[in-house]
């Protein structure tokens, strides 16, 4: 009996010493949606190994053909046919709603004359990165990468292989000029017939090879291109954009690390300080921030104000939990409250309540 028990124990111990195979992780079975096409074609392979976000701020870039616009404060942005279109939207008012119709003001693409365009690559964009406050769009056929960051006064494009870049518009270009005395040919000012002025900055000198009334084509270039609308005619606004043109954000995160505190943190490249935009609610909650009150972009949420820095701390005032009103009741509301309470009492049928209690007893 004891020898049989010893044999069983030895077998069990030996079995436990044998490395056990790790079970394969559970995967939901693949299925074909009858409503929407497969979205993974718009994501790089490394991003589809984990669940994709739903109802995200950039979801139009991955639904159907991925060519519907998204609003990034202060620009509405649309990706289609290997190009990125920007709109500095105007508000449309009715008695029922406020809307922002999308009308492309500028479109950035690789010129058809570029010698480095790859005809074998797909012509739609690919999402190569995303986080709380940004999404990165790659155009493999054009060698363009766009860092689309919410609240940036600039739209930033990285041209990672020498490419002829083209900037076009649906409006007539009234004038275009190069400037910046310290860096010749790194800034182009474009004035359109719709009274908008756009500023184009490049990380190194770039030459204009062709121009029409609606298109500017620049020579082959690799580096950073930043585009911004001039929000008003004040020379100070242009000077601010000139000053902060070199530092650009590539991603952003919302960090909930402390009670009653939200921190926005941006990763950025380039020298100098980062310029971002805050809407009115941010301004109420920001602490220890450098605010440029004279620099404002318009938006559907109110004026967006310039903030300097790659980290914001938003701290709402904690609400104490008490039995009575924190601020007390103003005396001019006493009569209204008394009248409401009397109405409640009169509405009660005390006799009926007493009858029901007797029935229950």
Residues 57 and 164 in one domain: yes
Asked whether 249 and 276 are in contact (CB, 8 A), the reply is: yes
Any domain includes 29: no
Q: Are residues 264 and 337 in the same domain?
A: no
Does 210 lie in the same domain as 346? no
Q: 223 with 289, same domain?
A: yes
How long is the chain? 361
Q: Is the peptide bond before 74 cis (omega within 30 degrees of 0)?
A: yes
**DSSP code string of 218-234:** EEEEEEEEEEEE--SS-
Residue 237 in domain: yes
Residues 344, 292 share a domain = no
Same domain, 178 and 60: yes
Q: Within a domain: residue 22?
A: no
pLDDT digits (tens, 9 = 90+) for 214-260: 899 998 989 999 999 999 888 899 999 999 999 999 999 999 988 88
Residue 15 domain-assigned (yes or no): no
Residues 110 and 53 in one domain: yes
pLDDT at 335: 93
Partners of 228 in beta bridges: 199
Indicate if 192 and 244 belong to the same structural domain: yes
Judge whether 175 lies within some domain.
Answer: yes
Q: Is residue 227 part of a domain?
A: yes
Q: What's the order of all strands across the beta sheet hosting 248-258?
A: 248-258, 261-269, 311-314
pLDDT digits (tens, 9 = 90+) for 291-344: 999 999 999 888 999 999 999 999 988 777 787 777 788 889 999 999 999 988
Please tell me whether residues 307 and 348 are part of one structural domain.
Answer: no
Identify whether 116 is part of a domain.
yes
Q: Is there a single domain that holds both residue 122 and residue 243?
A: yes
The pLDDT tens digits of the residues spanning 7-59 come to 555 544 555 555 566 777 777 777 777 766 677 888 998 888 888 888 899 99
Q: Are residues 88 and 215 in the same domain?
A: yes
pLDDT at 98: 84
317, 321, 319, 320: which is closest to 261 by C-alpha?
317
Say how many domains are in the chain: 2
* C-beta separation of 275 from 312 below 8 A: no
Which CATH number is 116's domain given? 2.70.98.30
Range of the domain at 181: 39-314
Give the pLDDT of residue 159: 94
Q: Kindly state whether residue 346 falls inside one of the protein's structural domains.
A: yes
- Say if residue 355 is in the same domain as residue 288: no
Instruction: Answer yes or no: are the C-beta atoms of 141 and 117 closer than 8 Å.
Output: yes
- Determine phi and psi for 93, rounding to 5 degrees: -110, 140
The predicted pLDDT at position 162 comes to 93
């Amino acid at each position: 009996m004891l020898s049989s028990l010893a044999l069983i124990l030895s077998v069990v111990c030996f079995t436990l010493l044998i490395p056990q195979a790790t079970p394969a992780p559970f995967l939901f079975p693949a299925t074909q949606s009858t409503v929407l096409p497969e979205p993974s074609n718009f994501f790089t392979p490394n991003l589809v190994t984990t669940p994709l976000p739903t109802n995200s701020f950039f979801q139009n870039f991955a639904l159907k053909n991925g060519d519907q616009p998204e609003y990034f404060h202060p620009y509405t942005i649309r990706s289609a046919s290997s190009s990125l279109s920007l709109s500095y939207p105007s508000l449309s008012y009715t008695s029922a709603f406020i809307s922002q119709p999308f009308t492309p003001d500028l479109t950035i693409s690789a010129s058809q004359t570029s010698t480095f365009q790859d005809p074998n690559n797909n012509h739609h964009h690919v999402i190569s990165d995303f986080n709380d406050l940004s999404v990165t769009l790659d155009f493999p056929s054009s060698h363009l990468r766009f860092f689309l960051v919410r609240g940036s006064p600039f739209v930033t494009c990285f041209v990672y292989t020498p490419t002829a870049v083209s900037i076009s518009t649906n409006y007539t270009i009234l004038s275009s000029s190069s400037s910046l005395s310290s860096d010749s040919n790194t800034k182009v000012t474009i004035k359109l017939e719709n009274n908008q002025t756009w500023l184009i900055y490049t990380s190194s000198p770039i030459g204009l090879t062709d121009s029409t009334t609606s298109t500017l084509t620049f020579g082959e270039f690799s580096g950073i291109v930043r585009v911004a609308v001039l929000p008003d005619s004040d020379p100070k606004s242009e000077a601010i954009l000139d000053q902060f043109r070199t530092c650009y954000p590539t991603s952003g995160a919302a960090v909930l690390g402390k009670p009653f505190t939200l921190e926005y943190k941006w990763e950025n490249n380039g020298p100098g300080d980062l310029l971002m935009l805050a809407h009115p609610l941010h301004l109420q909650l920001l602490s220890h921030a450098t605010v440029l009150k004279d620099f404002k972009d318009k938006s559907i949420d109110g004026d967006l104000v310039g903030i300097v820095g790659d980290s914001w701390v938003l701290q709402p005032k904690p609400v104490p939990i008490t039995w009575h009103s924190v601020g007390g009741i103003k005396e001019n509301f006493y009569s209204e409250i008394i009248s409401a309470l009397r109405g409640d009492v009169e509405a009660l049928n005390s006799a009926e309540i007493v009858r029901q209690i007797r029935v229950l007893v």
